[in-house]
């Protein structure tokens, strides 16, 4: 799932569930999207909407990558 970290899908799903805003920001930061990472972190995953979207996409599409 997350090739940069070598994590399996279930580990990524658990991290997204428990520390969603932080994990989403880390993924975006590693992929070079610094501005989006800062905004995502400071707004709590776009006020929860981005966090829920990322989590649902991970469940529906196992090959979904956080952009």
Cβ(40)–Cβ(25) under 8 Å?
Answer: yes
Q: Is 6 helix (H, G, I), strand (E, B) or coil?
A: coil
Give residue-wise pLDDT tens across range 2-36: 567 788 888 888 988 999 889 889 988 988 999 99
Calpha distance 14→32 (Å, rounded): 23
Place of tokens 């399996």: 8
Global pTM value: 0.74
Give residue-wise pLDDT tens across range 34-46: 999 999 999 988 8
């Amino acid at each position: 799932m997350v090739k940069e970290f070598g994590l399996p899908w279930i580990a990524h799903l658990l991290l997204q569930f428990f520390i969603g805003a932080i994990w989403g920001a880390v993924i975006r930061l590693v992929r070079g999207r610094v501005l989006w990472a800062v905004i995502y972190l400071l707004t709590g995953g776009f006020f929860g909407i981005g966090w829920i979207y990322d989590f649902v996409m991970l469940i529906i599409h196992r090959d979904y990558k956080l952009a």
